[in-house]
Amino acid sequence: MEIRIQSIHFDADTKLLDFTKKKLQKLQTFHDRVQDADVYLKLENNSAQVRDKIVDISINIPGSTLHASETSKSFEEAVDSAVDALTRQLQKHKEKLKI
């Protein structure tokens, strides 16, 4: 699976990139035909001191594209939540294929 990660308005460190790739690799256990993933890491634009982190993930599987977007105080929490949402979507999509 090809994973493309873009950090918008900041430079992501390798620890965050490795964490994100590791979590996304686990999606292949739920659906073996995941082709690629696009990940956008963003900082919320507001004037507050503590800015929320936004993670948008789109994955392509044959016949459809699944998308999840999560906001949290840390990128790790947002990635975890988005991967959980995509896991549920993959399982639901796979169940529809069995019927």
- Span 4-25, pLDDT tens digits: 999 998 899 999 999 999 999 9
Residue at 67: amino acid letter: H
Q: Give the H or E element holding residue 43.
A: strand 36-43
pLDDT tens per residue across span 56-93: 999 999 889 999 999 999 999 999 999 999 999 999 99
pLDDT tens per residue across span 27-55: 999 888 899 999 999 998 766 566 789 99
Q: Hey, where are the domains in the chain?
A: 2-98
CATH number of 2-98: 3.30.160.100
Q: Coil, strand, or helix at residue 10?
A: coil
Cβ count within 10 A of residue 14: 7
Residue 18, C-beta contacts closer than 8 angstroms, at least 6 positions apart: none
